């Protein structure tokens, strides 16, 4: 029985490693939260940038979607901000985002006045000169974030940090909770899980048949 268990674990380990690899790659996306807001609102958005390579991320360019209007940004130590048309760039004046780390950038934008989905295209620059374009559709290797803009109810036009006096702690906590709840799982995770389980099942059946013979 111990011999059988060892064979199963030997075959299962590579499948498990593959699953973990797919899950890590699929979840390490540049994202913009929240995933839902209301028409006309001055929304405080959170741009989350993980560094996936062995070198640091030194610049992130974000394209403001058509219909939305960039308003303000929160200063981030170690980063300069430039605004050119609909492009907002965070440029490191220090070491940037090192491998295995992530950085959050906060900004306020006025949402479109009509309901619908808006896409946030982001471009991640690494210290080695490489570029990752987070501008693909959902389900691709480098998808952009989507915010669903829904019709505002009465008095809901100024949600999440619309006050000129800055963001309160309650608003900040609400934003962070919204970001955590809106984190989506890439379909590649489920595909990898299915492949791993199928491989494990086939390996187990083959071992059992071999013992019977």
DSSP string for 62-78: EEPPTT-EEEEE---TT
Measured between alpha carbons, how far is 135 from 141 in angstroms, rounded to an integer? 10
pLDDT value, residue 153: 82
Measured between alpha carbons, how far is 86 from 202 in angstroms, rounded to an integer? 52
More confident residue, 169 or 2: 2
Distance of alpha carbon 60 from its chain centroid, rounded? 13
Summarize the confidence of residues 42-61 as an average pLDDT.
97
Angle, in degrees to the nearest 10, between helices 2-27 and 187-212: 170
Between 13-17, 117-121, 123-127, 164-168, the lowest mean confidence (pLDDT) is in: 164-168
Tell me how long the chain is: 213
Q: 19 is written with which tokens?
A: 């699953």
Give the position of tokens 């499948």. Answer: 15
Task: Give yes or no for a contact between 95 and 59, defined as CB atoms under 8 angstroms apart.
Answer: no
More confident residue, 84 or 187: 84
Reduced to 3 states, what is the DSSP secondary structure of residue 85? coil
Q: 172 is written with which tokens?
A: 């900040």
pLDDT over 90 percentage in the chain: 57
Give the position of tokens 């389980």. Answer: 197
Summarize the confidence of residues 112-136 as an average pLDDT.
98
128: pLDDT confidence band, cut at 50, 70 and 90? very high
Q: 108 is written with which tokens?
A: 């306020």
Measured between alpha carbons, how far is 112 from 88 in angstroms, rounded to an integer? 18
18: pLDDT confidence band, cut at 50, 70 and 90? very low
CB atoms closer than 10 angstroms to residue 129 = 8
pLDDT value, residue 152: 86
Q: 189 is written with which tokens?
A: 């995770």
Summarize the confidence of residues 8-17 as an average pLDDT.
49
């Amino acid at each position: 029985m111990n011999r059988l268990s060892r064979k199963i674990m030997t075959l299962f380990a590579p499948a498990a490693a593959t699953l973990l690899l797919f899950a890590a790659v699929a979840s390490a996306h540049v994202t913009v939260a929240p995933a839902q807001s209301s028409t006309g609102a001055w929304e405080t958005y959170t741009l989350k940038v993980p560094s996936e390579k062995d070198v640091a991320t030194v610049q992130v360019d974000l394209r403001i979607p058509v219909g939305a209007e960039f308003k303000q940004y929160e200063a981030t130590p170690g980063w300069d901000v430039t605004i050119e048309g609909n492009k907002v760039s965070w440029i490191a004046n220090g070491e940037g985002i090192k491998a295995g780390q992530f950085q959050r950038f906060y900004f306020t934008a006025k949402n479109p006045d009509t309901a619908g989905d808006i896409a946030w295209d982001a471009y991640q620059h690494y210290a080695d000169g490489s570029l990752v374009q987070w501008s693909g559709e959902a389900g691709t290797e480098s998808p952009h974030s989507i915010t669903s803009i829904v019709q505002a109810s009465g008095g809901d036009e100024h949600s999440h940090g619309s006050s000129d006096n800055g963001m309160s702690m309650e608003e900040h906590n609400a934003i962070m909770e919204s970001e955590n709840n809106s984190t989506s799982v890439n379909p590649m995770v489920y595909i990898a899980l299915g492949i791993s389980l199928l491989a494990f099942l086939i390996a187990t059946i083959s071992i059992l048949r071999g013992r019977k013979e």
